[in-house]
Amino acid sequence: MTEPFDNIRIGIVAGEVSGDTLGAALMRALKKRVPGIMFIGIGGPQMLAEGCESLYPMDRLCVIGLVEALGKSVQILKLRRELIRYFISNPPDLFIGVDAPDFNLGLEEKLKQTGIPTVHYVSPTVWAWRGYRIRKIHKAVDHMLTLFPFEAAYYKEHDIPVTFVGHPLAELIEDDPDRDRYRKALTLPPDKTLIAVLPGSRSSELQRHSDVFVKTMQWLVSRHNDYHFVAPFVNREMREIFNRALRKNQVTDLPLTQLDGHSRDAMAAADVVLLASGTAAMEAALLKRLAVVTYKVSFITYHLVKLFAHVKLVAMPNHLAGRQLFPEFIQADATPEKLGAAIEGLLGDPEEAGRITEALRKIYQELKQNADERAADSVLGVLRKRSPPAPLTAESSG
């Protein structure tokens, strides 16, 4: 069913690969409803393929960690000021910030002040740490779209218009992926215990995690001759960072298959996944695969997060379940011995593995809500209520 909108122009900004995926799916859903709708802002290859006019390359926003961001802070702030000036001078009918809250909330606040309606897609983890940001969200966001139901309840308590849309990944992942089929498709050994290793999708993550992942594989192979590993990488640069860790540790004979892409397929093929916390943890959960989670950031970032954190669990599937379905080993706790022992523990306890799998099944069912269409419905609801942008003032573009 199409909507009676003419010449609708949407501002949209995504700051990383997962945001590009979400943004592209939302764009597709909106294009079905509003023929001729236009999108402009910042997006990656998937959003560009859907017709987004990207004013700047998305990789200018791909930063992780508080301290890591300092090196790019000047150029990122400059980029945001340029976008504010552009959108105020060429006001869209609505602006959508896809994740990237440290960048998008400041942009949304300025645009909302001029009367441009704002939607933020993917809740910042304000419920987990830096809770004071709720005041900024009040000022910046007309409507929040959350992937998880407990987030929607949080925003309702704080009187911020919100819609729980579900998780788009749940729409893309089949209910019970067949391990054998994926192993055959990826030419992986059918008779081995298969461990997928995903040390991250950004160079900073690979640089921090590759060494401990390699050493964990070595530790496991020294104890099990029936283990095989599969490591997917988003591009050649990430693969080379990992291979440097292999060379550094003088590893030449690991039973390891490396893949270009196919990270979700690799997880579907695996018996257990070793991963860096993030979107991959949700993918593993929705695939109903056992996993061990680790994460490392800079010393200062870690202690700042600890200072402002309100929760103890890091991986989102663990938050949703209210317990540690996926064992977590963060910062100095992430040692080869601990990671390896956790993998052995999951593989060696079929009863607990069954309980974890059943809990993951419930998460899958809860999050499979036709998220793209629900998100599009919410965006169109905000569009129907919009008022014309206020006149540009000198203060507006600060």
Render pLDDT for 357-379 as a digit per residue (tens, 0 to 9): 999 999 999 999 999 999 999 99
Is 398 inside any structural domain? no
Tell me, what's the pLDDT at 121? 98
Do residue 109 and residue 137 come from a single domain? yes
Measured between alpha carbons, how far is 5 from 282 in angstroms, rounded to an integer? 35
Residue-wise pLDDT for 314-373, tens only, equals 789 998 998 999 999 988 899 999 999 999 999 999 999 999 999 999 999 999 999 999
Instruction: Output the domain CATH number for residue 205.
Output: 3.40.50.2000
> pLDDT category, 311, cuts 50, 70, 90?
low
More confident residue, 27 or 99: 27
Do residue 159 and residue 200 come from a single domain? no
Tell me, what's the pLDDT at 299? 57
**Inter-axis angle of helices 336-347 and 350-367, to 10 degrees?**
90
Is 96 inside any structural domain? yes
Is 205 inside any structural domain? yes
Tell me, what's the pLDDT at 201? 82
Measured between alpha carbons, how far is 27 from 73 in angstroms, rounded to an integer? 29
What's the average model confidence in pLDDT over 154-172?
Answer: 94
Is 391 inside any structural domain? no
Do residue 121 and residue 226 come from a single domain? no
Asked whether the predicted pLDDT for residue 266 surpasses 60, the reply is yes
Measured between alpha carbons, how far is 301 from 362 in angstroms, rounded to an integer? 33
Do residue 339 and residue 357 come from a single domain? yes
53 strand-pairing partners: 40
Q: Which two tokens stand for residue 188?
A: 């992986």
Do residue 51 and residue 83 come from a single domain? yes
Nearest to 276 by CA among 291, 257, 295, 262: 295
Residue with tokens 């419905």: 377
More confident residue, 279 or 254: 254
Residue with tokens 């080993």: 329
Do residue 183 and residue 321 come from a single domain? yes
Do residue 104 and residue 193 come from a single domain? no
The domain in which residue 376 lies consists of 9-166+369-385
User: In angstroms, what CA-CA distances link 346 with 63, 194, 271, 350?
Assistant: 33, 13, 9, 8
Do residue 106 and residue 208 come from a single domain? no
More confident residue, 334 or 278: 334
Task: Walk across the sheet containing 193-198 and list its strands.
Answer: 256-260, 227-233, 193-198, 272-276, 290-295, 328-330
Is 396 inside any structural domain? no
Least confident of 41-45, 254-258, 284-288, 308-312: 308-312
Do residue 238 and residue 358 come from a single domain? yes
User: In angstroms, what CA-CA distances link 65 with 73, 118, 128, 143, 202?
Assistant: 12, 25, 15, 26, 12
Is 56 inside any structural domain? yes
Do residue 43 and residue 179 come from a single domain? no
Q: How many folded domains does the chain comprise?
A: 2
Measured between alpha carbons, how far is 198 from 201 in angstroms, rounded to an integer? 8
DSSP letter, residue 87: H
Is 1 inside any structural domain? no
Tell me, what's the pLDDT at 306? 53
Is 390 inside any structural domain? no
Do residue 330 and residue 206 come from a single domain? yes
Do residue 325 and residue 375 come from a single domain? no
